[in-house]
Amino acid sequence: MMMCPHGGQVTVIPSQTKVKLSGSPALLARDATIVAGCAFAPGPKPQPCVSVQWVGEAVRVKADGQPVLLQSSSGLCKSAEGIVQGTVIITGAQTRVSGE
């Protein structure tokens, strides 16, 4: 489960489906994200979170030729104008993976 710091629900749309973790596709930094329900509206112009930019993806682990997101990766929640509004709050993550 992922949320923006203002309570909006973060949904990731996986761009690959071959590599799975506990039955779900491994997430990549390039995957599209949608933030719904962000209530961030300080000041005269509301700037709710609408997307996420990921940083700190894997260096050596890849899926579909692209780096996967790790537990240590950070998501920067951004407004429609690209202004960073805070970091994604992640509750629960796959902590161990093995492969062939």
Looking at every residue in the chain, the average pLDDT score rounds to 89
- This prediction's pTM: 0.83
pLDDT band at 56 (very low <50, low <70, confident <90, very high): very high
Q: Give the pair of three-digit tokens for residue 25.
A: 């596709």
Domain assignments of the chain as residue spans, ordered by start: 2-90
Helices (H) and strands (E) in the chain, counts: 0, 11
Residue at token pair 């719904």: 36
CA distance 48 to 79: 6
CA distance 79 to 86: 10
Q: What is the pLDDT of residues 11-46, one digit of tens each?
A: 999 999 998 888 888 999 999 999 999 998 777 888
